Structure 1
Amino acid sequence: MNDTTKTSASLLLVDDEPSILSALRRLLRPAGYTIHSAGSGRAGLELLEREPVDLVISDMRMPEMDGAKFLEQVRARWPEVTRMLLTGYADMDSTIAAINRGEIYRYVAKPWDDNELTLTIRDALERRRLQRENAHLLALTQQQNDALRELNASLELRVRERTAELEEANGSLKIANDKLKQNFVVSIKMFTGLMELRGGAMAGHSRRVADLARRIAQHLEIEGKALQDIFLAGLLHDIGKIGFPDALLNRPVVRMNGEERALYRKHPVAGESALMPLDELKEAARLVRLHHERFDGKGFPDGLAGLAIPLGARILAVASDYDGLQQGTLADRRLSADEAKAMLVQSRGKRYDSQIVDALLEMLGRPKADPNRGQEVRPADLRSGMVLARDLVGRDGVLLLAADYILDANLIRQIQDYARRDAPALVLQIRLDTRVVPEGT
């Protein structure tokens, strides 16, 4: 409590014992309060009618009118005055009545502790000061809101009048005005267009990803700003590739060499950096940075895992890869929609959040059953001449070998080395009609 509040506070002490009043005055006078006193509840009420008071301290046991009745009348007539009660331990029933009827701020047991009482009074006055300030701020806010509503109503009326005049002069201006409201989204689409002008597999990718990501988000009942951020991040998720050479843009990830892949892994951070200066795009920029994180923690750039990855980024990962698999930007060949879905299902809980994959499948339908699913074979049991029934996908989600690939001894050794090094639980799907080449032929 500041000095102004302390010196301006006015206290009323009510007790039928002069010695109690004297003791309270001696205790409280050094604090700079304005102190009034009354020897009965009736006298206290009369004083309140004449003098402004911030806080009343009343004894419980008084003749004619006890503290409970007195404080009840104070609450009814001067509700803004803070009320405190002095009471003995034998008066608990009366104290409870006073709390219920008089809505007192605090009761203090006799004999009181001087330090505790002064602190309680100081806290009560500070609370009252804050309540006053809050009420003042609420009133001021209401006044400002009323003024703003009046101003908005006036502005809306002027806009309508002006719009009507412009429509009479030239109907085409209405279309321009409607488009003006969408300037922000149009600007974002313009950024996206810079990438799509490069052609190749990039053409239309960002728009398709943004649309699919928004549909998945809506399916998951995401709304408002979060939904808009996911849509904008979908449009801009590849903006960090704007400096890539054409050859790299059109090369599937699986065919990139080490240097190219290192450059490729930098594009999420570059995209975030490009978008961060715009306040409206800060959350979308964060999703752009993290849309290559993997659910199992093996993604980039930050190695986040599970629910530590923002939901929007997990949605973008599924939407982007679903389109990229069909456009040939991830795998060695373009996959059909069913093949792309099967790839996502194969990486559920590893590369992708299972919830997001399931949401996409609920929207687009599950992949048709593969009649050539074949049998499961571990790397140690592979034999030359075996034919892959399904694509072999690496731990980072990259296609290593496509379905229908015929294995030879050299390739089997490479697969076995890869399994020992990076994927001990690896299992391959081999066609049932495989014709195994005998060893040594």
Structure 2
Amino acid sequence: MTPAENSPTLLCVDDEVSILKSLTRVFAGHNVRLVQASSGKAALEILKQQPVHLIISDMRMPEMSGAELLAQAAIMQPDAYRILMTGYADLSSTISAINVGKIHRYVQKPWDNNELLEIVNEGVKYFQLVRNNKLLTKKIARQNKDLQELNHNLEEMVQQRTLQLKKLLRQLKSNLETLDNDHKALLEVLYNIISINPQLSGEFALNVAATSRSIARVLELSKALQQHCYQAGLFSELGKVGLPHSILNLPFYKLDNNERNLYLSHPQNAEDILIPATHLVPVADIIVQQYERFNGSGVPGQRVGTDIIIGARIVAVARDYWSHIFQRLHPQKHNQHEALEAIKRLQGAYYDPDVVLALAKVVTGNLLSTAAIKESITTAQVKAGMVLKQNLYNAKQMLLLPKGHVFNESSILKLAQYQRKHNEQLQLVIEGLCKTALEEEE
């Protein structure tokens, strides 16, 4: 069956003719237009001449690696779905491909034909979704520009933007229903939305998330609830992407009553954003109730006491604790002790006293515990066999090494080289030594 003219174009790149022939056989009879290149240079020439939907590239090729090719391809045709094919279990190559080559998926040689066909089908859907979303974004941008030219008050303008946002979210939901969403990837995308927004703060989100989880641990909640509290804290400000810049550019204490009412609608925006992710319903419920107050004076439902779900009571305390430190709730900057005292003054009114007590234990432990400080070390202190306890990010929140990585001489050298090149001091949280290293120590 000959592919139709509107069939998705698949570019396969490998320096081995036998591999290209095998890929030809795999996709024979399927609705794809196959284009092949035997080198990275030849592939770049093809990308200059025609658009492609997907790229499958071998990792190890002479002159130009798959990671280098996909990095340039991401610049030339950023919407193309990028798949790395490798026969080598090489951690440094894989991390390079993810961070430099910006791949979406990787496939180990020898591959499974059915699995490869499913991945390509997923890539076609991804490409179409990205294109559709860009068209929708341009449409919304044009509509917003028209709205800005109208002489309406703030409330009318925001109501129209909210309607447009909900319409966009419904369209996105319709598109996303055709995809098999990867849970971890979705969470990273949501966090990146917060981290990359200049009016929001990835640092604030991470602090609220970590404190929420710590409070949940002190309260001895289940592992699942601890994780829900962490995720709700991380995405507690996600709905702010639907608020006007005039509100986001001001701290909460400078907003007037109308602006505060509008500001407090952002949890509902977050709920709309999370609708397609049905597995995040418990997280969305926590986010929606985060501005309920213990005495029943909160929004949106005026819930009282334990009628507010425990996750929302926890996130409210963690959020406002860090809001005091980040100078959002008061013109005076608070240190950790002062922020804790400010929270304590409102326990029983705004906050659950049991949650505030748990926060006090967390704050006191963090301030006085030298063990927690010793967990963080510099690259100069890293030894072969040490295990990374948390994901290692650079200053731009790009993943450098994943949690659980066991250091060796090569990865330690690469970290040192990275620091010198980027003039950046990395701090690593170490879990301990793997079994082999422990035996060597003894």
| TM-score after normalising by structure 1 | 0.42
Instruction: Indicate the structure (1 or 2) with the bigger Cα radius of gyration.
Output: 1
